[in-house]
Amino acid sequence: MTIGEEIYVLGNWFILHFTENEGMAFGMRFGGDFGKLILSLFRIIAIVIIGWYLIRLTKRNEKTGLILSMSLIFAGALGNIIDSAFYGIIFSASKFHEVAVLFPTEGGYSNFLYGKVVDMLYFPVIRGNYPTWFPFRGGNEFIFFRPVFNIADSAITVGVFILIFFQKRFFKK
């Protein structure tokens, strides 16, 4: 697929939309090249801490739901850092109407930890227009759930929601 290319999977509400994300989950950004490095280092530190915590949880035979939610967060963070760390090294830059080349002879488009993360899941569940009387946005298109994301982002989000929803069961002490 090329940048911006779409495959409609289930009508207009589930679309595979190829895009590259320079920053955090759901397309958020964090301060240019320096911010990208800080974000990558934060992800690595988070992976180490969450991995250590998971080992501790399993040794203490904690609740399965807590281990599952932390595992989802760990796996999502690991997936995003692997993508960010290596995608720019092994692929040429993606361009509109041109497929990126795997292992280009001139090298990838980026250095270690500075690559982009591929996002592809798009669920524009509700589409419409803001009413004309609506301040600043009147008449403009409205799409509920506009972000394009990936499976790693989903794993992190589901893991966090499980932690929040079941926190009283997981952390009784």
Q: Which of 85, 153, 162, 170 is catalytic?
A: 153
Residues 80 and 25: their CA atoms lie apart, in Å, by 9
**153 given a catalytic annotation:** yes
**33 given a catalytic annotation:** no
The DSSP 8-state label assigned to residue 91 in this structure reads B
Torsion of CA 29, 32, 38, 41, to 10 degrees: 80
Question: With contact defined as beta carbons under 8 Å apart, do 82 and 113 qualify?
Answer: no
What six digits make up the tokens of 51?
Answer: 């991995």
Question: With contact defined as beta carbons under 8 Å apart, do 53 and 46 qualify?
Answer: no
Q: Which of 119, 155, 163, 170 is catalytic?
A: 119
Catalytic site residues?
119, 153
